Amino acid sequence: MTLSISLTINGEPRSVAIDDPRVTLLDLLRERLHLTGTKKGCDRGQCGACTILVDGERVNSCLALALSHDGAEITTIEGLAEEGRLHPVQEAFIAHDGFQCGYCTPGQIMSAVGLIAEGHAHGDAERVRELMSGNLCRCGAYRGITEAVLEAEAKLATRERDAA
Amino acid sequence: MNRFVCLRPTSVAEAVAAASEPGSAYLAAGTNLLDLMKGGVARPARLVDVTHLPGLGAIETLSDGAMRIGALVKNSTLAYDAAFSARFPAVAEALLSGASAQLRNAATVGGNLLQRTRCPYFYDTASACNKRAPGSGCDAIGGANEGHAVLGFSDHCIATHPSDFCVALTALGAIVEIEGEGGRRDVPITDFYRLPGDTPEKETVLSPGEMVVAMRLPADSTAFSANQRYLKVRERTSYAFAVVSAAAALRLEDGRIAEARLALGGVAAKPWRAEEAEARLAGRHANRAAFEEAADLTFAAAKPSGDNSYKITLGRRLVTRALLLAAAGTPDHLPALPASPFAETPAGVLPEGVAHV
């Protein structure tokens, strides 16, 4: 039985045929749509490498059945840069060496984008660490990650103020 | 993962009818169920997807001050809801001490009530587990069981319930609203879960097809807002299940305890309400001696189920400290590390000369 669902992925409306109800958003993105920026780490909701935004909120795409997300708006790491310019969170990760091997990085960055939008960190490193605890980094780049999130949070707040 | 048929009913009544068929399971966010299915622990033939059902996503304040939360409300939505967290700050703290931000954004409150144990033998399909495969035995008994139950366990199962949220709900006497083929019924959360006995596979009072549609925090539970905390010891500071946790709530009048509420996590197959301790605290001055007495009473019937006698000592200390924190008052803002013993601690809570734990 093949069902079709509609998704908006990185701003682009897509109609996607689901031929197997077991397909997760992660597998859909990577295997069917060839958006391989989203990484499969544990595939069990423990590492955060597969973090994407669904309707603006960060979730583990490995634990989300595609069929349940008809109509959802999805943002992946491929959708962050605008007009060839990196997103402030991406820039901050580079500036602060927020990675080593890079495998967890798309998930870290998507999680950080979600965290900043949620607005509960208030520039506090302890809160950033707590709210980023769903993203594991086996290289141990946590210090740089925390600095990057704090800087990006401040920069985005300034930008929002200037725009207002 | 096994193959399954995915059904998408458009009303609660349709969902109940669909899920009454044998081999069915409800699917909400799937943060627990899909994990179990990927490991072959759960193998439902039919998933009844309730994520799009109307009418299950509201947080309402009722006319008597009670609050009603639809089963599909996300954990994060509830934790950050201003009206809810003002009335029930320990419930918000418990929610925010559980899982990760990503999981809290997806997981529903109904799903949280129905999450399965994290016993490693339950998860390992090569192990004997009476909960997963009734009658197969329990490899946790005599196995690596430092994380297992010290209260209410049986010769058939020593697993614990993993939820933080439900511990706080249990302390505050939440009511679970259930819809089934016979109509709607209300069950107090303290009666919602079963102890393992000789049927550990039966974890709740839900009949086949019955669905949790909402929960209510009754009007009398709003009297504890000023003095309530959730405290949770984990093996790492964040993103870990409780080793032992406690939700404590007090209604104080002139320094005396008019009413106390206390529940524990990580110690039994269900969130453990400590009613005897609550009764002992009524009318007492809110001080360490009274709280230590309550803690002793809470664990009076506790016994190790293996390598976990430490949980009894830890649990006593945790109860004492949770009650001291509650007596010190609900903080104006949640600490950066919700429910953590490493969070900022008000003066007088830690014994003289002691830092952190």
Q: How do residues B98-153 score in pLDDT, each as one tens digit? A: 999 999 999 999 999 999 999 999 999 999 999 999 999 999 999 999 999 999 99
In terms of CA atoms, which chain B residue is nearest residue A135? B100
Q: How would you class B98 by CB atoms within 10 Å of its CB: exposed for 0-12, middle for 13-18, buried for 19 or more?
A: buried
Report field, pTM of the whole predicted structure over 0.90: yes
**Mind telling me how many Å the CA of A139 is from chain B's nearest CA?**
18
Stretch B6-21: mean pLDDT, rounded? 97
Inform me whether the pLDDT recorded for A153 exceeds 90: yes
* Least confident segment among A139-148, B49-58, B222-231, B336-345: B336-345
Predicted local confidence at residue B349, as pLDDT: 86
What mean pLDDT value characterizes chain B? 97
B356: confidence class by pLDDT, cuts 50, 70, 90: low
Where along chain A do its domains lie?
Answer: 3-79, 88-163
Asked if the model's pLDDT at residue B64 lies above 90, the reply is yes
Residue whose tokens read 């302890």 = A126
Q: State whether residue B80 sits within 8 Å of chain A by CB.
A: yes
A48 and A113 Cβ atoms separated by less than 8 Å: no
Answer for the pair B240, B234: CB distance below 8 angstroms, yes or no.
yes
Q: Specify the pLDDT at position A2.
A: 76
Average pLDDT over residues B209-228: 98
Looking at residue A164, its pLDDT comes to 80
DSSP lists the bridge partners of residue B260 as: B250
Query: Quick one: tokens of B77?
Result: 């939505």
Confidence (pLDDT) at B353: 73
Residues B223 and B86 sit within 8 Å (Cβ to Cβ): no
Q: Which residues of A touch B8 (CB under 8 A)?
A: 67
Of the candidates A65, A126, A129, the beta carbon closest to that of B34 is on: A65
- Check CB contact under 8 Å for B239 and A133: yes
Q: Do B101 and A127 touch (CB under 8 A)?
A: no
Q: What percent of chain B has pLDDT over 70?
A: 99
When pLDDT is cut at 50, 70 and 90, the band that residue B348 belongs to is confident
Listed in order, strand segments (DSSP E) in chain B are 5-7, 24-27, 46-49, 59-61, 67-70, 175-180, 183-188, 211-217, 228-233, 244-253, 256-265, 272-273
A113 contacts: CB under 8 Å, gap ≥ 6: A53, A58, A75, A80, A87, A89
Q: Which residue from A minimizes the CA distance to B102?
A: A59
The confidence score (pLDDT) of residue B24 equals: 98
Domain ranges (residues) in chain B: 5-52, 223-328
CA distance A127 to chain B (A): 5
User: B156 with B316: CB under 8 angstroms?
Assistant: no
DSSP H helical ranges for B74-188: 75-79, 82-87, 89-96, 101-106, 109-113, 120-123, 165-171
State how far residue A163 is from chain B, nearest Cα, in angstroms.
26
Which residues of A lie closer than 8 Å to B, measured between beta carbons? 20-22, 24, 43-45, 48, 51, 54, 57-60, 63-65, 67-68, 70, 111, 114-115, 118, 120, 124, 126-127, 129-135
Chain center to CA of B41: 21
Residue B355 has pLDDT above 70, yes or no: no
pLDDT reading at B357 higher than 80: no
Class of domain A88-163: mainly alpha
The amino acid sitting at B183 is G
Is A3-79 in CATH node 3.10.20.30? yes
B206 DSSP 8-state letter:
P
Q: How far is A39 from chain B (nearest CA, A)?
A: 15
A120 CB neighbours in chain B (<8 A) are 80
CATH 3.30.390.50 assigned to domain B223-328? The reply is yes
Whether B31 sits inside 8 A of A63 (CB atoms) is yes
Please, which residues 231-250 of chain B have a Cβ atom closer than 8 Å to chain A?
Answer: 237-239
A60–B103 CB contact, under 8 Å: yes
The answer on pLDDT for B4 being more than 70 is: yes
pLDDT tens figures, A46-59: 999 999 999 999 99
Per-residue model confidence (pLDDT) at position A75 = 98
pLDDT of residue A60: 98
Which among A22, A48, A67 is the nearest to B102, CB-wise? A48
Q: Which residue of B has its CA nearest to A52?
A: B102
Per-residue confidence (pLDDT) for residue B262, from 0 to 100: 98
A123: three-class secondary structure by DSSP: coil
Q: What CATH number does the domain located at B5-52 have?
A: 3.30.43.10
In 3D space, the residue among A130, A78, A83 whose CA is nearest the CA of residue B338 turns out to be A130
Q: Work out the average pLDDT over B53-78.
A: 97
What is residue B325's predicted lDDT score, i.e. its pLDDT?
97
Contact A63 B336 (CB under 8 A): no
User: Is the pLDDT at A163 greater than 80, yes or no?
Assistant: yes
User: Does the pLDDT value for residue A119 go beyond 60?
Assistant: yes
Residues of chain A found within 8 Å of residue B105, distances taken between Cβ atoms: 57-59, 114
Tell me if B30 and A115 make a contact (CB, 8 A cut-off). Answer: no
User: What is the model's pLDDT at position B354?
Assistant: 72
Q: What is the mean pLDDT of residues B210-228?
A: 98
Query: Do the two domains B5-52 and B223-328 of this chain adopt the same fold?
Result: no
Average pLDDT over residues A52-81: 98
A43, A44, A131: residue with CB nearest B101: A131
pLDDT in tens, B291-304: 999 999 999 999 99
Alpha carbons within 13 angstroms on the beta-carbon side of residue B346 total: 16
B10 to chain A, any CB pair closer than 8 A? The answer is no
Question: What's the pLDDT score for residue A1?
Answer: 62
